[in-house]
Amino acid sequence: MKTNFDFIILGAGSAGCVLANRLSANPNNHVCLIEAGSKDTDPRIHMPLGFAFFGDKTNLSWNYKTEPQKGFDKVAVESPATAVVDSAGGVHKVHADVTEHRRGFQPRGRTLGGSSSINAMLYVRGHRCDYDRWSDLGNNGWSYNEILPYFKKAEHNEVINNEFHGQNGPLNVCKIRHSNKPTDAFVEAGAKIYSYNDDFNGAEQEGIGYYQTTQKDGKRCSAAKAYLVPAMGRPNLTIMTDTQVNKLLLNGNTAVGVQCITKTQQTVDFTANKEVILSAGAFGSPQILLRSGIGPREEIIKHDITHLIDLPGVGKNLQDHIDYLSVHRYNSLELIGLSLRSIFFKYPMELIKYIFKKTGLFTSTVAEAGGFIKTRDELEAPDVQLHFAPAMVVDHGRTQLWGHGLSCHVCLLRPKSTGTVTLQSADPVDDPLIDPKFFSHPDDIKVLVQGYKKMMAILNTTPLQKYTKDHCKRPVDINNDRDIEQAIRESADTVYHPVGTCKMGSDSEAVVDERLRVHKIQGLRVVDASIMPTLIGGNTNAPTIMIAEKAADMILHDTVT
């Protein structure tokens, strides 16, 4: 087994796949890409609608749960069994009634392509002001005008050819190959109140419209499909799956390699001649740093790990999009759902359509349309995002409902609440302790209440209202802010965009500099969504790919010998 390389990339998600491709394009660079998950061979990955059937037991995802969220409502939980002896000497196991604040669910991709292999495939970049804010914080080179060329470098847009889009990149972007009347009705209703927008990634983000998607020929175009598959034949690229990273190897303040545990439970050290690059995501990258003795001292020594480098910001600054779904039951085969008619009549026909033409229902992203709107007219940029789904989505899709219906998400784009990620133990197989601290800042719930009202104004407008009015599974009094807030606290959760835990900057909590080099350490970078100093106003997959494209250029420039 080869154990020495020029570059070692930890994590084969959206960022890691980009880096593996770009760095190995030079045949003189020997690159190793290490992924804890397995290969992306599950057919549900590649058929777009398949992601809706993963559930929470799949090995394609890290199915994390957060710590109890004080901003969420309390729920009953099962307590550990307690032995009770009765008067006759019999022993019985009993469970006490226990409540705690609801925990959030945090699925993250655990396969080649990472979360881009299990997400809803929406291609969204965020607002230009998000990147200008990064630059204003002192991160030179990260303004919108400076990062736009990297979005374009990554993209091949089948539909739009203008100054905002690329046509020759690896990542294929197209329109959805499935249309239905309820989604069209959402766009029509929304456009009556707000402007219609045919490109959320163009000159203006605000408005209502259809999402662009990362698909090609009716199949998912994950980062693995776009970047890794074309590079797999290169003799200078080694891809290791089912390999768990334990810790980084340091020589003084220089990263020289990584210690891993293979699928046969062997401990193997890999060494890097040039750089080690962390691309394990907003949860994985801080975990690896902490297990390596890099981070805040108090979070490291309590797990009997030797503290080597003091970086107080590792695992801090966690930011995520909090989201609420309004779910409506409506008996129509136009909507995705489970019924005898759909199982025996609709789905067989749709499956045939997909097999032979790669069109129809099975190409659906579920979240097919949406929009970006402002809760106050004076705002610089939209502060809430909508995702419309022609299906009933409850509890992240983990609860299957009989019947048909639709859902609409309202998502808070720039929450003020920040949380943490830290270790549960020094064991690399233990889940991290994730605490987003949702709604810990009072402004977040206030804005989301207003966003809910804006969303419901669309849902109750013709021609959409026939599907929604008087059909809500959790009726809410639109004129009662306290009832809206209660509904949000009952079921709001992430829409899967955690960032910021190894943030870029020069302040006391910054982990990497503007070239994504880890402060105080040579030969080590972090390249993934964890470097975002602030959360962007949109889905995070395309921005993560952009970050990796820019990072690849910086790495190649900085390591020329």
Contact 452, 324 (CB under 8 A): yes
Contact 396, 493 (CB under 8 A): yes
For strands 267-278 and 524-526, give the pairing.
parallel
Catalytic member of 30, 497, 519, 557: 497
Closest CA to 413 of 543, 247, 556: 543
- Residue environment code for 129-159, b if the CB has 16+ CB neighbours within 10 A, otherwise e: bbbbbbbebebeebbbeebbebbbbbbbbee
Question: CA-CA distance, 130 to 93, in Å (whole number)?
Answer: 55
Tokens of 81: 């069994």
Q: Which amino acid is at 93?
A: K
385 phi and psi angles, rounded to 5 deg: -125, 145
Active site residue 497: yes
Contact 364, 121 (CB under 8 A): no
Contact 65, 435 (CB under 8 A): no
Question: CA-CA distance, 466 to 166, in Å (whole number)?
Answer: 40
> 490 in the Ramachandran plot: left (φ > 0), alpha (ψ -120 to 50) or beta?
alpha
Question: CA-CA distance, 546 to 167, in Å (whole number)?
Answer: 15
Contact 459, 521 (CB under 8 A): no
Rg of the chain (C-alpha set) = 24
Question: CA-CA distance, 365 to 343, in Å (whole number)?
Answer: 19
Distant-in-sequence, close-in-space partners of 399: CB < 8 Å, separation ≥ 6? none
Sign of the C-alpha dihedral, residues 530, 535, 541, 546? negative
Question: CA-CA distance, 151 to 502, in Å (whole number)?
Answer: 22
Instruction: Transcribe 243-281 into DSSP letters.
Output: -EEEEEEEETTEEEEEEEE-TT--EEEEEEEEEEEE-SH
Tokens of 546: 């952009």
DSSP state, residue 47 = S
207 forms beta bridges with 372
Cα–Cα separations (whole angstroms), residue 135 to 163, 318, 504, 513, 557: 22, 19, 10, 12, 21
Q: What is the set of active-site residues? A: 497
